[in-house]
Amino acid sequence: MEFHQLRYFVATAEELSITGAAKRLHLSQPALSRQILALEEELGVALFQRIKKRIHLTVAGRFFLDRARQILCDAETSAQQVRERFGDAKRTIRLGFLTIFPDDIVAPAMRALRKDSSRTDVALFELSPKAQLDRLRDGELDLALLGNIADEDRSRYTVRSLMRNPMAIVLPDDHRFAGRKQLALKELAGEPFVSLSDTIFPGRRQFLRGICQPQGFEPAIVEESDSLPLLIAAVSSGTGVALLPVHSSKLPHSGSVFVRMKTPIVHAEIMAVYRKDSAQGALAALIEHLETSARAIA
């Protein structure tokens, strides 16, 4: 398995189009298809389903996507550390983030930082919350953008709130409440719930229960998903209902609907998380720009 094959796979998985991924990677479509096929043969499983000239991630492909991103993150982080420590590379801030943040929070902040300092780069790594916290602990990330996290992590790092995003109820589009504009959470008592995995999203189960229990019921969690797209896919397939920040509705969610939660009024925090006493110079400036970007869409 080669690193370039992992990059090709991640690009194809994000584009869900050989044409779009080939254009992004500056490759011919046949060359990209050959590399994806070689990776699948090496792994011994299909990563994509090809249906009516369109491609979709298989269950194995969805499982492998997060792992491939993490491998690429580790490789790039190690290389950058060597260049900075032993070469003449300029300062690079390593920023971890979730799927929903790059276009409206991260990109404007990076543009503003580049205007402030031409001697600073930002390396971006799309990682799960658990992977971000692990790499933050090990010094392989400088800054993580996360949602709600466990109390122990709040005490371990400096946590700066960037914005508060109202929670929405995610329902299959054929659910009896799918046509509602607003919904009280207590109306979902007895419904099966899909949650984000507590292993990958630390504190998520505690957060969900903390919302439901004051409404008089314990959420019946029937499945936990390793990513936001997988959770939305589970809801769309009819596995259960879910709670997600309204901001997540910008992700593709064919087969499901986002309904505003009328009561209780609950918000998810979007936070910048970093090691204590590390927010100096360019890192401090980047955090300020991220806060400005977040305020603009709050």
Q: What average pLDDT does the segment 76-81 reach?
A: 76
- What does the pLDDT read at residue 88? 66
Could you report the per-residue pLDDT of 131-153, keeping only the tens digit for each? 888 888 888 889 999 887 777 88
Decide if 3-65 and 165-267 have a common fold.
Answer: no
- What does the pLDDT read at residue 290? 93
- What does the pLDDT read at residue 46? 94
* Domain 3-65 fold: Arc Repressor Mutant, subunit A (1.10.10)
* Residue 34 CB neighbours (<10 A): 13
Tell me: pLDDT of 201 over 70. yes
Residue spans of the domains in the chain: they are 3-65, 77-162+270-297, 165-267
Q: Is 280 helix (H, G, I), strand (E, B) or coil?
A: coil
**E strand or H helix at 259:** strand 256-261
Q: What is the CA radius of gyration of the chain?
A: 20
Q: What CATH superfamily classification does 165-267 receive? A: Periplasmic binding protein-like II (3.40.190.10)
Could you report the per-residue pLDDT of 222-250, keeping only the tens digit for each? 999 888 888 999 999 999 999 999 888 98
pTM: 0.67
- What does the pLDDT read at residue 89? 61
- What does the pLDDT read at residue 51? 76
**Crossing angle of helices 18-25 and 29-43, rounded to 10°:** 110
- What does the pLDDT read at residue 20? 85
Find out if CATH 3.40.50.10540 is the number for domain 77-162+270-297: no
Tell me: pLDDT of 81 over 80. no
Beta-carbon contacts of 18 under 8 Å, excluding residues fewer than 6 positions away, are: 12, 29, 32, 33, 36, 55
- What does the pLDDT read at residue 23? 87
